[in-house]
Amino acid sequence: MFRNSTVRDVLLRPTVAILAVGLLVTATGYAPGPALSALWRGSFGSPYVIVSATLLRATPLILTGLAVAIAFRASVWNIGAEGQFLAGATATAALGTLTGASLGWTSLPLALILGAAAGAAWAGIAAWLRRRFGVLEVISTIMLNFLALDCVAWLVRGPLQEPTHIYPQTSMLANAFNMPRLFATRLHAGFLLALIAAIIAGWVLRQTAPGFRLRATGANPFAAASAGQIDVARTATRAFLVSGAIAGLAGAIEVTGVTHALYEDISPGYGYTAIAVALLAGLEPYAVIASGILFGALEAGAAAMQRDAGVPSVVVSVVEATLILVFLIPRARERTA
């Protein structure tokens, strides 16, 4: 039901997004002119904001969007990218707090690997509950999101709190953990990693045997099991773990590239926006890059809109919801036909 969505589709969608923002802003009684111009200035208004706001925001969205897309393609309803992101961020921050600068140049790669492993482990709980007990992953992953948030809240006030015990956060990680910056802007190499991850995922899905098994499992598990002799349960579990690993990597990259510390509000709901990102991309990894950048722009623009035009940035959630619903209609018609 999500086939045939291309990068071109995604490029047409900003029109709908901008219309939705304009309508919504007008409907709630704000002046659309200043709001839309602030939206533009904050997202694509200058080379600096494109790189340092839009692409910076897009990085975690591309990765978490990719995580959701891979899971959904296997019909694994992983709503838990948020918790897996937090698990990855926590593992990275814990490694940094415990080792300081002692790991030298291996700090960053180890942090990324550990973050991905933590994300996979957190998703693994839900994957195990699904496979062993038949627990719906929609519910278990959401419970795990809340649980992850409570764990972070406790850790940054307890075992991982910075040494002065004043702020609810970890201390800043050593420089060895910093992602290299690109073009002397706020953008970091994590953006490139996100692009590489999307390209690899797209290639694996389209061109390789594991990718075929995943798509077959998602499209029709009964046919995949009987005609294709695919171990459907195992394929779904693996897709779940890979999905968690990518979301965990997103958390590790956010810590090493942007925040350099762990605190409670480290994610403004990336894992939830990721669902919209993945759906708008038609669950196609290459297209996730474009829709991730679109949502990065929307969120960066919304921040500017709140600052300059006084329009609350939560407006973006309504726009995301509208985009999802609008793009459900034609697909739904196909399905009924």
Partner 1 sequence: MNGLPDFLAATVRTATPLALAALGETVGESAGVINVGLEGIIITGAFAGLVGSITVGVYAGFLAAALAGAVVAALFAVFAIWFRADQIITGTAVTLFGLGLTGTLYRRAFGAGGAALRAATQHATSIPGLSRIPLIGAAFFGQPAITYFTYIIVPLLWWAMYRTRMGLALRAVGENPEAARAAGINPRRVQLAAVLFGGVMGGLAGGTLVLSQVGTFAEGMSAGRGFIAIAVVALGRWHPVGAAIGALLFGAASALQFLFQAMGWAAPYQLFLGLPYLLTLVALAAFGGRHAAPAALGK
Cα separation, 143 vs 125, in Å, equals: 11
CB of 47 to partner 1, least distance (A): 30
CB of 297 to partner 1, least distance (A): 17
Beta strand residue intervals within 260-312, DSSP E: none
CB of 9 to partner 1, least distance (A): 17
Quick one: 30 or 40, whose CB is closer to partner 1? 30
**What's the gap between Cα 111 and its chain centre?**
18
DSSP 31: -
Neighbour-count burial of 28, counting CB atoms closer than 10 A to its CB (0-12 exposed, 13-18 middle, 19+ buried): exposed
With b for 16 or more beta-carbon neighbours within 10 A and e for fewer, the 319-335 pattern comes to: bbebbeeebeeebeeee
Residue 106's φ and ψ, nearest 5 degrees, are -80, -10
CB of 200 to partner 1, least distance (A): 25
CB of 71 to partner 1, least distance (A): 12
Quick one: 83 or 119, whose CB is closer to partner 1? 83
Which residues does 134 contact at the CB level (< 8 Å), separation at least 6? none
Name residue 263's beta-bridge partners: 169
Name residue 181's beta-bridge partners: 188
Quick one: 107 or 273, whose CB is closer to partner 1? 273
- Cα 331 to Cα 79, 83, 334: the distances in Å are 21, 29, 5
Quick one: 19 or 332, whose CB is closer to partner 1? 332
Quick one: 156 or 258, whose CB is closer to partner 1? 156
Cα separation, 325 vs 280, in Å, equals: 10
Quick one: 108 or 279, whose CB is closer to partner 1? 279
CB of 337 to partner 1, least distance (A): 10
Which residue do the tokens 């890059």 mark? 289
Quick one: 184 or 314, whose CB is closer to partner 1? 314
> What is the residue type of 232?
V
CB of 29 to partner 1, least distance (A): 6
Residue 85's φ and ψ, nearest 5 degrees, are -60, -50
Binding site for partner 1 (CB under 8 A): 1, 24, 28-30, 77, 79, 125, 129, 132-136, 138-140, 142-144, 146-147, 150-151, 153-154, 157-158, 272, 275-276, 279, 312, 314-322, 324-325, 328-329, 331-333, 335-336
